[in-house]
Chain A
């Protein structure tokens, strides 16, 4: 009897010990493209494919894949006369800052990547950046907007998207112009990104002479916002600015509506940028605006670049969107993502900026490529890209304000690139009993690119469910096997 137990025990322990090297040898890292012939530049990326940032993470990953696809299709990267193809190696970080240092370490020391793309969100980027810095590997931040990370003296961290200080500038300008009696409430997540955005927005509002009546941060992971909403309502607020990331931003908007808070203007960070936002909130989403790094309807073009005296680099907006769709049909992880959001575009732009820097440096040496980045000033489908040489902060790119109008995302600010006027006091948020402001309720003239939003977003949520249920299935199978093993052992022992 004891002997049988010992055999089981020895087997278990032996398999445990064998497991570690076996895993590293057998299973391969997730890569795109899977195989590359000839010279290759490896780009590493920790990205959230599960957990709270899964929606944004999938977008970012496929934005990168689409861009790499375009580069490889258009002759690859020319380094001092030699042609290189790009290859992406990515791991799921489960949206956890805890995993970030180990994953970055693994990408650098085991996969020997040449360059790194940051994970999504400021919090995760700040966890990954110190490790990249220690190994002197360039990390391009495409989802880390917080200014704070760039004030810490990191040399190898470079920002692609506009920093947090820019997020609410457009929204405040709209409020200043259209809502003379605005009383602003800020309800935002107490994380690196949102608190940084609001800190700068409050300063700016003060400078512009706007009235801020309420400002409060909620802890990350909060799902009940009723106390914040009632307090802001009691303070007489008629404009809501805030949010954090997808899940909390969505819940905040939903609860504000459910609790009958009448608002003339709502601008929420991150969440409304995702097609899933409208799909899950339906009519409530109409009228909700958001600061956006990029929209499918933006008007960046080689002609505009020429007018501004800048070099155009990479695909045009239409070309990039078609590659994004191509990625959806060819790469299994990208299936059913829908229209690209700005999280996809900024990640894709990071690859373009990197390629441009490698080509102008003429080497893969990180120190020299980083040096070359200081002198780059280009126009891409994502807009202008230029960094501050000292801090690595993005100073070339400009943000827009977009708004959900009749189920479509339209650019409403600044006026020179707007597709429609901002919708002030939308009827679902500001019933006719209340006096409406001067702004006209414009009809939408959305571009063709956004028209498929509603139909595709339903696919997004179904793939996410499919992925979750697959994980649950495997989890339960493993648990059942273990219960059987332990059960059998307990039964046999007597």
Chain B
């Protein structure tokens, strides 16, 4: 019962209610802009929280996290075009894709993590970059073998914007609760111990390797789920697009800007990133990264602890609200 009164839990409930309200109101068709943006922000929050499990909670930066989103998209492509070809869209198709996407992403993460999580700090980060490229070219090769030149386009499933919205919403709820539960559980405290001082944690009896492997697998599982609504919505699987290193960097930026070690940090970071991306996108196109990059450098230089971390430090009273 105590968990229900915690600020992170209450914040999650508020977020879910807000998005639920937007979803219901959006059925009218007048609020298309808000529905579209709400869908995007859910996705960016989802990405940020997925990476938060390993990066923010356990202190391991993964540059290859887009891989797991991409695997989710890949499995969706398989579901639509190979497992259930010529079926009209049904909920079961979404669920199969979700299970497959999350499952395969978690399996890959488990296998890869078993090797690379023996590395620490920067070495781990470098190993994950390698993973990104391996999977990218594997996907291109597999598509070519199947006689498809990328991107692989899905057949039109005649889904509406509202359908995509509820797909995002379902994955969003799961993400919020899983990630929050990890944070407040005994497992989460173990990860925090690893983040602060891995040797000390080991001495204190935390099975650090097992904990890290679990965290990496769980974070991949969530990222894999997010690949599914993305692929449905874009109606294609484009390896160059989903396995882009840029997507991993976006996740890292969201976490860093929001604040490491917190639950609300990645959510705030996602809003900041998306707000900037959306407003700069059509103004300066290619130059948007020229602006976005330095802004991020400034934030990191000024507040290495992130926005939420800084607020918690400046105003200790806020700690009750900002978790």
B-binding residues in A (CB < 8 A): 5-6, 8-9, 12-13, 16-17, 19-24, 27, 29, 49-51, 91-94, 97-99, 101-103, 105-106, 108-110, 123, 126-127, 129-131, 133-135, 148-149, 152-155, 190-192, 195-196, 217, 219-220, 471, 474-475, 478-479, 482, 485-486, 489-490
Contacts and interface: CB of A to CB of B under 8 A. Distances in A.
A98 B303 CA distance: 30
Given A16-B295, A192-B149, A482-B297, A51 B155 contact: no
Contacts of B294: 478-479, 482
Interface in B282-323: 282-283, 285-287, 290-291, 294-295, 297-299, 301-303, 307, 310, 314
A216 to B, nearest CB: 12
What's the interface size class on B, roughly?
A: 35 or more
- The CB with the most chain A CB atoms within 10 A, among B32, B156, B161, B297, is that of B156
Given A16-B276, A190-B149, A99 B40 contact: no
Interface stretch (B6-14, B169-177, B229-237): B229-237
Shortest 8 CB-CB contacts between residues of A and residues of B:
A130-B235, A109-B33, A20-B275, A92-B285, A153-B156, A23-B279, A195-B149, A94-B286
A131 B230 CA distance: 12
9 contacts: A50-B286, A91-B282, A92-B282, A94-B285, A94-B286, A471-B290, A475-B287, A475-B290, A482-B298
A148 B151 CA distance: 11
Given A12-B299, A195-B149, A50 B285 contact: yes
B241 A152 contact: no
Nearest to A490: B301
B281 interface: yes
A5 B302 contact: yes
- The CB with the most chain A CB atoms within 10 A, among B278, B280, B285, is that of B285
Q: Provide the main secondary structure of the chain A interface.
A: helix
Nearest to A6: B314
Given A50-B285, A105-B36, A153 B155 contact: yes
B270 to A, nearest CB: 13
B151 A127 contact: yes
A6 B317 CA distance: 18
A449 to B, nearest CB: 32
Contacts of B297: 482, 486
Contacts of A127: 151, 234, 236, 238, 241
Nearest to A148: B153
A190 B286 contact: no
Contacts of A20: 275-276, 278-279
